[in-house]
Structure 1
């Protein structure tokens, strides 16, 4: 087991090192804003300035989109807090506010590998497929692009997969805190409360403990992190009106981009075939698109059906359902009135997709082989019983013939 652990961590270290290297050489030289970076790092700077009353060194230039005083009330604040810490430490510059996303991208790769290994359990396959999970994540195009830029999607992706890894590892208290951090990163994670609570019913028979660790603790984390923004908006009522309720209204309203920009807009079902991948910009010879991978997305559909019907392993089912519930939340938003959705939202739940595909593929194959072996053993046993019965009958006939002569 120790040798396999060494192989796992050595392989993962090499993979993360390569991923980090290619991230830095790809995104560090881009000395301009990438897509919605004009909003989030600037709002992080404004939060430092107007909420916490500190002012980082302003190195990178502002653009017309960098509205003075804008704190991005449409989304929870945690991602902007983290960007702000890096801006305070290293100045308001492109590399500084992208660096947290790069780190979280590395951590997502690690947590996908750990989650796959936890789900499979059976060695050496758990180690082999755990590493494979990391490779699939490293090659996943939507995570590659979105972990390179300073937007919020990679934050919710990391805290969500980390929360569910610790949940299925039977560490619900830590998982609960991480779920609260996911809530505080982006509202697309709110519906993850459903599979989280469902798994807690398996861990805790006591309803009070389920309420505390499934609902109250994540909400407490969310509220505590929102307190500085509450103060900025004049108290809980002002925050509720200008941030939380505004956030819901924003999510259910079209117009986040011109409706004529059809090449940028996609529906949740378009994401399976990479229809209208969101254009992030061209930088020298590099054009960036928030592209999904149709093979990964279609495999997700197939593996999910088989995982839920054939394997029926609780932990795999929870991970699978977590991804689908986030996808369904975007479907609800679409039918709720927001028809300007974008392909980069897939990054919010993509770690669940990668885990489901890799771990699910192994567990489905194992279950299928177990069924085949069981049927062969049953057939062999029935054939042997039939042969024994025929031999017994032959002996009885021989005795009968001797007695009649």
Structure 2
């Protein structure tokens, strides 16, 4: 049985990894241009790799892609996102050179790992290697996951760390639940209580929870890519507290609520402090470079800002206030800006790249090469229904699993709703994609293996689920040229524009 288990898990991980790799690494160097916001983040990564800080750029955007680096100045650039994502881009450039492959390789690599991680997460939560493999496969063939992993933007790194943090919290729960049960049994034996008796007091302590600290580190790194990563930290760490309360109650602890909450308060304060330390540490290149933007603001403005802090931290706080003001006032009209209320429907996808290709490239009268950050429509439209079903299960049945699988999707989506007036884009949903897929797979499992059958398979539900999986793969194959930038006839590109808002 152990051999069979290992064989199935190996097949799951390798299948997901191979498919995800093929779709993310094939022709990764195309397009040979700065795609959409790569103009900011790739050039920032190159500056970090060469100057050690983010310098200002002048000249035409295309010049950089053509190898002209003369536009980089020594003056520090005012950038509006933390630098962890750009440091990963810089690492790729250092290893593979200043070329499109080097700009994108680290995002592609972490995109593949994220698919495999999701497969293991789904396998653990749904207790099924098969459903775990389907979850990883769905993320591997989804357009948002493919395009963002193949582009030198920041959001793939945010998504990776959010999934990694969630996975670490699941490991923490698995370890601590077992430890809690063992220590509760030892405490009953010491008090000469029956095995099923209530355990007086607030229950045993659990010592240092290393996997929770790993999760905190991952969420801090997510927030150090983009501030929206901190929404995941808040949502999932609160979920972890809820798990602790439920596990103490299940272990028969008499004062389980107090036992969990009183331990949650100092743990929460330590988590906040640790996150601040990690986040500040990620600004190390900024601290070490005298020419970084705003590095010596406090020295130049004595008596201003947060004066009780050292000058370096005072300058960093002032810089962050400037960044916050920029984001709050970012309301410039953009062709591809989208209303977050419609993000789960992929209503207004972002066209990253579009150009006419040589006629010989596809054998048609007009050939085009296009890259659209558009999720697989079937995954996203059905996933939206699955999110609604999860809300129903939470309210009607107090389904903790429904909350667990869907919380990440809501954490990636709901905080953006008050900012519908801002210049924001649908490709931000890459951070939502893994958790929407997880929710969808949970809903599919409920269709194929309804609760009433206690793990058995419904014939009709299984047919529906298998048909859905097949349809997802067919649609991904149909849309793949628009995710990979493959030259296609213009008429074939038009056939993909299912909604007027996609054009």
TM interval, short-chain normalised: 0.7 to 0.9
After superposition, residues 1-400 of structure 1 pair within 5 angstroms as: 2=2, 3-51=4-52, 61-62=67-68, 69=75, 71=77, 73-121=79-127, 126-170=128-172, 171-201=211-241, 202-203=243-244, 204-205=260-261, 206-212=263-269, 214-231=271-288, 232=292, 233-234=295-296, 235-242=312-319, 244-255=320-331, 259=333, 261-262=334-335, 264-282=336-354, 284=357, 285-310=368-393, 312-334=398-420, 337-338=421-422, 340-363=423-446, 366=449, 368-369=451-452
Q: Distance in 2 between matches of 1:69 and 1:319?
A: 46
**Structure number with bigger Rg:** 1
* Residues 188-224 of structure 1: CA deviation (Å, up to 9, x unaligned): 2121232223123233540344225542222221111
Contact 2:12 2:119 in 1 (8 A): no
**Secondary structure in 2 aligned to 1:276?**
coil
Contact 1:119 1:316 in 2 (8 A): no
Name the CA shift for 1:319/1:182 in 2 (closer, same or farther; >3 Å). farther
Q: Distance in 2 between matches of 1:25 and 1:105?
A: 13
Q: Distance in 1 between matches of 2:218 and 2:315?
A: 26
Name the CA shift for 1:273/1:207 in 2 (closer, same or farther; >3 Å). closer
Contact 1:50 1:69 in 2 (8 A): no
Q: Distance in 2 between matches of 1:27 and 1:191?
A: 31
Contact 1:160 1:178 in 2 (8 A): yes
Q: Give the helix-richer structure, 1 or 2.
A: 1
Give the match for residue 181 of structure 2. none
Contact 1:46 1:70 in 2 (8 A): no
Q: Distance in 2 between matches of 1:74 and 1:351?
A: 26
Kindly tell me the number of residue pairs found equivalent between the two proteins.
Answer: 358
Name the CA shift for 1:364/1:73 in 2 (closer, same or farther; >3 Å). farther
Query: Normalising to structure 2: TM-score of the pair?
Result: 0.65
Give the match for residue 308 of structure 2. none
* Residues 343-380 of structure 1: CA deviation (Å, up to 9, x unaligned): 11111221111111112432476454259x9xxxxxxx
Q: Distance in 2 between matches of 1:276 and 1:159?
A: 26
Query: Normalising to structure 1: TM-score of the pair?
Result: 0.79
CA RMSD of aligned residues (A): 2.9
